[in-house]
Structure 1
Amino acid sequence: MKQLALGFVVVLALAGTGAHAATTGIAWDKAPPKTNDVGALQNGAKLFVNYCLNCHSAAFMRYNRLKDLSTEDAKLTDQMIKDSLMFTTEKVGDTMKASIDPKQAKDWFGANPPDLSVIARSRAGHGGTGADYLYTYMRTFYRDDTTATGWNNLAFPTVAMPHVMWELSGERKPLFDTKEEHGHKVPVFKGWQQVTPGTMTPLQYDQAVGDLVGYLQWMAEPAQNTRVRVGVWVLLFLLMLTFVAWRLNAAFWKDVK
């Protein structure tokens, strides 16, 4: 059953534990490289459709492009995409549009949820790649009764998006130490305390988020793996051509004093 994902991103005023988290300066974790793992990408596509697509569109991605995520042992067909990854009356050639009504979303939240087509590329920053940010973001939600949704996030303090995958991860509580900095005590994040268990273990949840982030990376540029493979062969060809040209040049000028 498709989960209702209230995935809107609207910055609220800093308050309570949100302000506390904002001073921790949490480092982004490195996202696992999964853009070449077709099985992980298929699982990431399923997670995206179930937990993200109700509110977030992917307007530059068509459902039938998911057939690129096929192997000889796990081939995706149009019918499989319809049966497993589509829950509305849309056609398999349509783009991935959110179920939420844009006018209602703006009335409810003040802004429409952002499109996720290239989110893995646009979120890069000084802390790492966009994939690193998303991998950290989806794993740092915690309960916060001072926010409108009841959730907060260490990577994006006071974010208005709730933890839509909380049933998988369970509830966790961030733990902090303090350190002296310019004469002031500053909170420093040191780890998590599991409050209630989820349907997945922490390791399984991290792997699931890695699959989801891998899919978001792939969706941002479905041809990236082909581009890299072709690029390697082009560079090898140019290297060989350079060697041949160098030897021809030497042979041409060998009798010229």
Structure 2
Amino acid sequence: MRKLIIATLALLLPAVGFAAGGHVELEKADIDLNDQASLQRGAKYYVNYCMACHSLKHMRYSRMADDLGIDDKALRENLLFGDAQPTSMMTNSMRPADGEVWFGTAVPDLTLVTRWRSPDWVYTYLKSFYSDPTRPYGVNNVIFPLVGMPHVLGDLQGVQEAIVEEHAGHEPTIAGVELTQPGSLAPEEYDNMVRDITAFLAYAGEPSQMERRKVGIYVLLFLGLFFIVAFALKKEYWKDVH
């Protein structure tokens, strides 16, 4: 079953009931872009749960497969749906007009979400849904109040309830969430899944970053060697100058 997973959607309505905490501390995603297995799992989760609604329109399937070490057979069997081809861009199947009807706004492309929000924000967001009967899809989010999307990983994570703090003379605030009904994944398994998705989105936001970092190391080594040679040349040139 294909579902959307991440959204930066909100129905911008006046706050009703509880207010979210003023400054929510983000959890550390601790992603490792050198962990190819994590990136491969993240790609699988994203394609199977996200791309019904959220595109990565600047990414091509074949580029992703080459970068992440996914062979052509695995790509075709596990990551290509409908009439998509390896050379196709990773676009979604939802029409913008449908997104506006269902969610109140066009569903965003998520290519740059980790660069715009940060990996820690995406990781924390995916862990911060809680039950809220006043919302259209029955859920809200601690770091994105009045979120417009459903919690599509709810069956995996389970049901979370808000931890509410009362303040005299002020609206109650949400200090966090607690798991009240377990899902099909243990909390640690769910955290790992969300971390893999976050890592994949961080890769998609800048596919060349790992190559650039490798090249950067060689550039620094070259500059260090060149400095030694230049310094030795300078000493040799000026040794007889008084």
TM-score by length of 1: 0.86
1:231 is matched with which residue? 216
Percent sequence identity is 37
Q: Which residue of 1 aligns with 2:127?
A: 139
**Counterpart amino acid of 2:20?**
A
Amino acid at match of 1:3: K
Partner of 1:10: 10
Write the mapping of 1:73-112 to structure 2, written as runs, cut at 5 A. 75-112=69-106
CA–CA distance in structure 2, aligned partners of residues 253 and 68 of structure 1: 52
The letter for the 1-side match of 2:211 is T
1:187 aligned to 173, 183, 188, which one? 173
Quickly say closer, same or farther: Cα 1:8–1:133, change in 2 above 3 A: closer
In structure 1, which of residues 41, 60, 66 is the aligned counterpart of residue 39 of structure 2?
A: 41
Instruction: Quickly say closer, same or farther: Cα 1:223–1:173, change in 2 above 3 A.
Output: same
Structure 2: unaligned runs, 5 residues or longer:
none
For residues 123-134 of structure 1, what are the structure 2 equivalents within 5 Å?
Answer: 123=117, 130-134=118-122
Report deviation, 1:8: 6.8
Give the root-mean-square deviation of aligned CA atoms: 2.1
Give the direction of change, closer, same or farther, for the CA distance of 1:151–1:131 in structure 2 (3 Å limit).
same
Distance 2:146 2:104 in 1: 15
Structure 1's unaligned 5+ residue stretches are: 124-129
Structure 1 counterpart of 2:64: 66
* Alpha carbons 1:172, 1:193 under 8 Å: kept: yes
C-alpha distance 28-49 of structure 1, shift in aligned 2 (>3 A): same
Contact 2:40 2:70 in 1 (8 A): no
2:44 aligned with 1:56: no
Partner of 2:162: 174
Query: Partners of 1:100 and 1:39 in 2: how far apart?
Result: 29
- Which amino acid letter does the alignment assign opposite residue 157 of structure 2? S
Change (3 A) 1:28 1:38: same
CA–CA distance in structure 2, aligned partners of residues 4 and 206 of structure 1: 18
Please give the per-residue CA displacement for 1:50-85, whole angstroms capped at 9, x wherever unaligned: 111111111000111222344xxxx52222111101
Question: Which amino acid letter does the alignment assign opposite residue 216 of structure 2?
Answer: G
Please state whether the residue corresponding to 1:16 is helix, strand or coil: coil
The correspondence for 1:161, drawn from 143, 149, 152, is 149
Q: Give the match's secondary structure for 1:172.
A: strand
* Change in CA separation of 1:61 and 1:43 when aligned onto 2, cut-off 3 Å: same
